[in-house]
């Protein structure tokens, strides 16, 4: 398969003035009739007429009403055409019931649905399937299902047919069609410009009781985008559909969002607080794409972060505004540190705007999404709040209705604010996590911070020029008062010194406040200073980070020395934080959470130590045990104080208390043999309490009866059964994780063609560091077996999960050999997909 390069971009040779589709639905022989008005692009030299098309059976084609015989290949067709505007007509046949890849038009539990991003429309009909070709679509659906939906506004309908018209020009990746036996939970929303929008959440009848929260989230998102950005919805109807089989979380098709059922359906009995939060964020994210993605789309797929980074940033702002910024910022930083830094440090590292790909589906990554959002956040810090809004307004005004690039994006901010963003552009082009080495000195009332930046080489990028890094800092005196409030330092050189004068004593610096840049800070800080910041920092992010750094330094020391007792200073700091009732319980729960195995693995690897997953796991467990013993006098009361007696609500206040209570429950279980967890499990009236109790019981080997009871109660609920499968693996002792996973793949509930199910089982194993990285290679072998099986059925999900092997270069020789053996086996699988081939090749290069 060939590599596509950003540098080779050329404008489309032909533009589309309008698309009429007629889709005659039948599971094995759907007919798609297209009538498309083409005209030559005045900005392009004359080029042959080519259309994308895959897995299509061409029945007939015509130009201006005259039959033509195109040259058809496995990836499309070419045809002789007039040099001026013409109307193309084609009829093709496709088989949605046979489409297990879940791209194009497919069937999920009897419901017809589509997934066209990135390049799925070409599996529906012949078309210039590239995001810079935008067109107005009119769609007629014929089928014998009660509900027939497409993008835009409904035009007309009758028995067995419906017509839709989307007045907003869009690229083909935003096309959608849904047909099936669905019912709607309906509501309405009046926009700031007075438009009354009908809102529908379409589900199977049995799921109607799980729609209320999602509908509320949609309305909150619509109001937020109006209030914060002045952006209002632009059609008469907004439809959301829940489907069971979906490769990702959801899709922002214009006016017809399609959701993985797990990302929209919610009820207190079946969903955890974390599910509610995730669902609200995804609904908001897809809704926000209506402007950042749909009205303004990407010129080409290299610009994916233009819509995804910006829209993630917007959904993060939304969640922060609704539920509190401090906890949200910590959670977002954890995603960066636990997942994105790992991607950036391994063989799959790529820039936020990649410059080459084989299969674009492989670039829907934590780097493009979450690091992309961090770049947007840094930009906002650099231009300030007013500059941010001015830049956004200019970006929207300039590019509404068009396909844009990252250059366009930065130009809007440069022009709106006068800031030179030339160096900032490097963030989009340069892979890898920058490391800041910070030292300081103080003399004669003058305090100096010296900051040096370096970024290690990544695949294809040996040299890394310096980046423009916003580093927010504050300086505290020895009482914890701020002598210099939060100040933004702009680091642009490889080495820089920042001077603060007029200080009467050496201050305590608080560096990288609010995680102002996605970087690693290297600074030698003793435990006393960290404990001081944990007690006093006025920046909540850095206060939490001080506690995490205390835990991390200790864990790394214990790993390096092979074990030992935790620091009394850390335990004292933890005790003080946990018992400080002025602090948000969710914040306290985060302070109690130890650094993840991944985080410690990366830290060791960056320092040249070969990480041992078993040892890392053991040290973390030892620390947990020591915390449970040391805090044994406060844990029962702390747990009791978090119990909520009011009726369940997934709000920040209740959820924060449950989060802290459940974190404490995990510790209590270590000392009471699971008694408190069993009591909570027996009394639980919501999924948050029930699942947490089950997890705590499983973690101490007392979960068999509860797991059985949970199964018996929920075996008919497919979303809850995903949790049941996953928690048994997540909580398994490392030496049993592979065997438990293997056993669950034989359980009748394991319908492996469903991506949610597959991820719940094999994805959970891959995310269990000490379970997956067994020294005998059994974790790698089991995952490889299943990926080989899944690839011919669903290449996209297979390829995404191959990234579990991206620790390849990090571990000891034995594990490396075992990983390479597993990857080589995958590579040799007959007819391996382009998606998976690219991932394996990148891992093995």
Catalytic residues: 286
Cβ proximity to ligand HT7, 285 vs 328, nearer residue: 285
Contact 499, 447 (CB under 8 A): yes
Contact 210, 718 (CB under 8 A): no
Least distance from ligand HT7 to the Cβ atom of residue 289, Å: 6
Tokens of 492: 């642009």
Contact 190, 196 (CB under 8 A): yes
Least distance from ligand HT7 to the Cβ atom of residue 199, Å: 19
Length of the chain: 845
d(CA 218, CA 280): 8
248 binds, among ligand HT7, Zn ion, none (CB under 5 to 8 A by kind): ligand HT7
- What does DSSP say about strands 153-158 and 161-170: parallel, antiparallel, or unpaired? antiparallel
d(CA 602, CA 598): 6
Cβ proximity to ligand HT7, 373 vs 719, nearer residue: 373
Cβ proximity to Zn ion, 252 vs 835, nearer residue: 252
Q: Which residues would be at the binding site for ligand HT7 (CB under 6 A)?
A: 115, 117-118, 247-248, 250-252, 285-286, 289, 308, 361, 364, 796
Least distance from ligand HT7 to the Cβ atom of residue 302, Å: 15
392 binds, among ligand HT7, Zn ion, none (CB under 5 to 8 A by kind): none
> How much is the CA Rg of the chain, to the nearest whole Å?
27
Contact 95, 27 (CB under 8 A): yes
ω before 118 within 30° of 0 (cis)?
yes
Least distance from ligand HT7 to the Cβ atom of residue 307, Å: 7
d(CA 211, CA 194): 25
At residue 783, the 3 state secondary structure works out as helix
Considering only residues 299 to 358 of the shown chain, the ones binding Zn ion according to CB under 5 A are 308, 311
Least distance from Zn ion to the Cβ atom of residue 372, Å: 10
Cβ proximity to Zn ion, 117 vs 672, nearer residue: 117
Tokens of 639: 């747990």
Cβ proximity to ligand HT7, 409 vs 639, nearer residue: 409
Picking from 407, 541, 384, 381, the residue whose alpha carbon sits closest to that of residue 468 is 381
Cβ proximity to Zn ion, 132 vs 308, nearer residue: 308
247 binds, among Zn ion, ligand HT7, none (CB under 5 to 8 A by kind): ligand HT7
Cβ proximity to ligand HT7, 128 vs 293, nearer residue: 293
- What does DSSP say about strands 482-491 and 435-443: parallel, antiparallel, or unpaired? unpaired
Picking from 801, 753, 762, the residue whose alpha carbon sits closest to that of residue 97 is 753
115 binds, among Zn ion, ligand HT7, none (CB under 5 to 8 A by kind): ligand HT7
Q: Name the phi and psi angles at 411, rounded to 5.
A: -60, -35
d(CA 319, CA 143): 40
d(CA 726, CA 764): 6
Considering only residues 58 to 87 of the shown chain, the ones binding Zn ion according to CB under 5 A are none
Contact 28, 51 (CB under 8 A): no
Least distance from ligand HT7 to the Cβ atom of residue 308, Å: 5
d(CA 839, CA 834): 9
Picking from 287, 279, 145, 114, the residue whose alpha carbon sits closest to that of residue 210 is 279
Contact 564, 541 (CB under 8 A): no
Residues facing residue 71 across a β-bridge: 78
525 binds, among Zn ion, ligand HT7, none (CB under 5 to 8 A by kind): none
Number of residue whose CB is nearest ligand HT7: 248
Cβ proximity to Zn ion, 280 vs 308, nearer residue: 308
117 binds, among ligand HT7, Zn ion, none (CB under 5 to 8 A by kind): ligand HT7
548 binds, among ligand HT7, Zn ion, none (CB under 5 to 8 A by kind): none
Least distance from Zn ion to the Cβ atom of residue 541, Å: 25
| List of E strands, 109-220 | 111-115, 135-142, 147-150, 153-158, 161-170, 177-180, 183-190, 196-203
Considering only residues 157 to 196 of the shown chain, the ones binding Zn ion according to CB under 5 A are none
Cβ proximity to ligand HT7, 271 vs 796, nearer residue: 796
| List of E strands, 492-545 | 495-500, 508-511, 520-522
Cβ proximity to Zn ion, 18 vs 320, nearer residue: 320
Least distance from Zn ion to the Cβ atom of residue 598, Å: 24
Exposure of 193 by Cβ count < 10 A (0-12 exposed, 13-18 middle, 19+ buried)?
exposed
CA distances to 391, 400, 401 from 14, in Å? 32, 21, 18
Least distance from Zn ion to the Cβ atom of residue 353, Å: 16
Least distance from ligand HT7 to the Cβ atom of residue 293, Å: 7
Tokens of 335: 């995603």
Residue 547 C-alpha from the chain's centroid? 26
Least distance from Zn ion to the Cβ atom of residue 120, Å: 15
- DSSP assignment of 671-696: HHTTHHHHHHHHH--SHHHHHHHHHH
Cβ proximity to Zn ion, 257 vs 678, nearer residue: 257
d(CA 217, CA 543): 31
334 binds, among Zn ion, ligand HT7, none (CB under 5 to 8 A by kind): none
Residue tagged 């995952």 (tokens): 783
d(CA 705, CA 166): 54
Contact 435, 522 (CB under 8 A): yes
User: Using CB under 5 A as the criterion, which residues of the chain lie in contact with Zn ion when the complex forms?
Assistant: 308, 311
């Amino acid at each position: 398969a060939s590599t596509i390069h950003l540098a080779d971009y050329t404008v489309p040779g032909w533009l589309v003035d309008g698309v009429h589709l007629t889709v005659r639905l039948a599971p094995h022989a759907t007919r798609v009739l297209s009538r498309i008005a083409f005209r030559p692009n005045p900005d392009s030299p004359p080029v042959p007429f080519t259309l994308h098309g895959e897995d299509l059976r061409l029945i007939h084609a015509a130009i201006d009403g005259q039959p033509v015989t195109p040259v058809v290949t496995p990836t499309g067709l070419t045809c002789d055409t007039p040099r001026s505007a013409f109307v193309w007509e084609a009829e093709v046949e496709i088989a949605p019931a046979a489409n297990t890849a879940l791209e194009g038009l497919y069937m999920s539990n009897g419901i017809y649905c589509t997934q066209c991003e990135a390049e799925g429309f070409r599996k529906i009909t012949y078309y210039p399937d590239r995001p810079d070709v935008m067109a107005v679509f009119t769609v007629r659906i014929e089928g014998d299902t009660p509900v027939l939906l497409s993008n835009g506004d409904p035009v007309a309908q009758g028995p067995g047919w419906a017509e839709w018209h989307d007045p907003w020009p869009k690229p083909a990746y935003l096309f959608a069609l849904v047909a099936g036996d669905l019912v709607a939970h309906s509501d309405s929303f009046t926009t700031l410009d007075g438009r009354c929008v009908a809102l529908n959440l379409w589900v199977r009848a049995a799921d109607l009781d799980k729609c209320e929260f999602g509908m509320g989230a949609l309305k909150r998102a619509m109001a937020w985008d109006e209030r914060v950005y002045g952006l209002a919805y632009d059609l008469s109807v907004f439809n959301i559909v829940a489907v069971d089989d979906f490769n990702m979380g959801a899709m922002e098709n214009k006016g017809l969002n399609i959701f993985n059922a797990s990302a929209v359906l919610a009820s207190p009995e079946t969903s955890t607080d974390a599910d509610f939060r995730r669902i609200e964020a995804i609904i908001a994210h897809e809704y926000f794409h209506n402007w950042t993605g749909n009205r303004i789309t990407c010129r080409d797929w290299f610009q994916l972060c233009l819509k995804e980074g910006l829209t993630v940033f917007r959904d993060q702002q939304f969640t922060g505004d609704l539920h509190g910024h401090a906890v949200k910022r910590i959670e977002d930083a954890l995603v960066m540190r636990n997942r994105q830094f790992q991607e950036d440090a391994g063989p799959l590292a790529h820039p936020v705007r990649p410059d080459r790909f084989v299969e674009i589906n492989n670039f829907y990554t934590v780097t493009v999404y979450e690091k992309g959002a961090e770049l947007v956040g840094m930009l906002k810090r650099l231009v300030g709040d007013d500059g941010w809004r001015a830049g956004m307004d200019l970006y929207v005004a300039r590019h509404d209705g068009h396909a844009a690039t990252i250059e366009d994006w930065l130009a809007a901010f440069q022009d709106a604010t006068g800031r030179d963003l030339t160096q900032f552009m490097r963030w989009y082009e340069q892979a890898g996590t920058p490391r800041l080495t910070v030292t300081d000195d103080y003399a004669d009332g003058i305090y100096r911070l010296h900051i040096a930046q370096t970024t290690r080489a990544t695949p294809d990028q040996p040299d890394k020029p310096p980046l423009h890094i916003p580093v927010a800092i504050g300086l505290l005196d020895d009482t914890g008062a701020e002598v210099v409030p939060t100040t933004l330092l702009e680091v642009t050189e490889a080495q820089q010194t920042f001077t603060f004068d007029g200080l009467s004593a050496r201050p305590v610096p608080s560096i990288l406040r609010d995680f102002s840049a996605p970087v690693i800070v290297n600074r030698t800080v003793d435990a006393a200073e960290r404990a001081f910041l944990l007690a006093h920092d006025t920046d909540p992010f850095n206060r939490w980070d001080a506690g995490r750094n205390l835990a991390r330094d200790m864990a790394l020391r214990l790993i390096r020395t092979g074990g030992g007792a935790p620091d009394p200073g850390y335990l004292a700091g933890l005790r003080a934080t946990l018992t400080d009732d002025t602090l948000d319980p969710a914040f306290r729960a985060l302070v109690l959470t130890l650094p993840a195995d991944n985080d410690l693995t990366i830290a060791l690897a960056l320092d040249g130590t070969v990480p041992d997953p078993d040892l890392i796991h053991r040290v973390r467990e030892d620390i947990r045990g020591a915390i449970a013993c040391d805090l044994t006098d406060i844990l029962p009361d702390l747990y009791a104080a978090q119990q909520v007696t009011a009726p369940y609500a997934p709000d920040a206040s209740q959820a924060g208390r449950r989060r802290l209570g459940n974190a404490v429950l995990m510790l209590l279980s270590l000392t009471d043999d699971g008694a408190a967890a069993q009591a909570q499990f027996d009394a639980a009236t919501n999924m948050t309490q029930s699942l947490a109790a089950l997890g705590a019981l499983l973690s101490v080997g007392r979960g068999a009866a509860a797991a059985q009871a949970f199964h018996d109660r929920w075996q008919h609920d497919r979303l809850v059964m995903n949790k049941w499968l996953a928690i048994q693996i997540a909580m398994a002792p490392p030496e049993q994780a592979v065997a438990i996973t293997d056993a669950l793949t034989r359980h009748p509930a394991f319908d492996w063609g469903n991506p949610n199910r597959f991820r719940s089982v094999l994805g959970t194993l891959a995310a269990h560091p000490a379970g997956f990285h067994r020294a005998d290679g059994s974790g790698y072998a089991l995952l490889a077996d299943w990926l080989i099986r899944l690839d011919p059925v669903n290449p996209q999900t297979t390829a995404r999960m191959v990234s579990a092997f991206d620790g390849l270069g990090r571990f000891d020789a034995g594990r490396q050999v075992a990983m390479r053996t597993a990857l080589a086996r995958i590579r040799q699988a007959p007819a391996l997909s382009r998606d998976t081939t690219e991932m394996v090749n990148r891992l093995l290069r």
